[in-house]
């Protein structure tokens, strides 16, 4: 492809806003009529599609609610929003935030999956009016801080598990004993 062709393609992309990063955060209710394992399939599909489309994000789910924050090129996020609105696996979709951003917040993940649990229940209380996760009772800032805190907790847990795995491997490797008369 010649330089003139690339320049025309880049100019066309600029006109469509592909150079602008947008963050879309929404909440919705899980449709309980879904088949078992549907959330696992949704997550797997989202990770594949997002990686291919340059979308990063975090998804919080607790079998009642979805809370998702995604980032990517403006036309890509707009197209995804149209699909989300039509998706029958959830309902009562509300956009919490949609804004242009200078840098991605979720740049580590094509889709990070976070689950509110008894272990991190205090985070729900910290950022909302109750101890149960319900994103409809949270402000935009509370939602973003909640996702950040769950992500940080998950990252700490992941690092802890990695350290434990390293320690386990180190203990499992037999050490060679040198003979007392060895010259090496």
Reply yes or no on whether the pLDDT at 20 is more than 70.
yes
21-66 residue pLDDT tens = 999 999 999 988 887 777 788 788 888 888 999 999 999 988 899 9
Helices (H) and strands (E) in the chain, counts: 5, 5
Q: Report the candidate in 74, 73, 13 with the shortest Cα–Cα distance to residue 5.
A: 13
* Burial grade of 91 (CB within 10 A; 0-12, 13-18, 19 or more): exposed
Given this model, what pLDDT does residue 91 score? 93
Percent of the chain with pLDDT over 90: 39
Q: With cut-offs at 50, 70 and 90, classify the pLDDT of residue 121.
A: confident
- Neighbouring residues of 68: CB distance < 8 A, sequence distance ≥ 6: 25, 26, 27, 57, 58, 59, 60
99-110 residue pLDDT tens = 999 999 988 888
Q: Give CA separation, 120 vs 114, 180, 182, in Å.
A: 11, 54, 55
Task: Give mean pLDDT, residues 147-166.
Answer: 86
């Amino acid at each position: 492809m010649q330089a003139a062709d690339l320049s025309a393609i880049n100019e066309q992309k600029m006109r469509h806003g592909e150079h602008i990063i947008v963050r879309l955060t929404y909440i919705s209710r899980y449709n309980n009529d879904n088949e078992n394992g549907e959330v696992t399939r949704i997550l797997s599909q989202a990770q594949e599609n997002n990686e291919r489309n340059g979308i990063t994000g975090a998804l919080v789910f607790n079998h009642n609610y979805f809370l998702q924050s995604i980032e990517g090129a403006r036309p890509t996020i707009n197209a995804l929003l149209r699909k989300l609105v039509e998706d029958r696996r959830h309902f009562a979709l509300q956009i919490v935030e949609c804004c242009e951003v200078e840098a991605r917040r979720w740049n580590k993940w094509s889709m990070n999956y976070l689950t509110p649990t008894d272990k991190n229940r205090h985070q729900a209380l910290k950022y909302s009016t109750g101890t149960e996760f319900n994103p409809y009772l949270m402000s935009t800032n509370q939602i973003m801080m909640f996702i950040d805190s769950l992500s940080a907790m998950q990252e700490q847990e992941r690092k802890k598990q990695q350290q434990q795995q390293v320690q386990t491997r180190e203990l499992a490797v037999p050490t060679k004993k040198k003979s007392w008369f060895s010259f090496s």
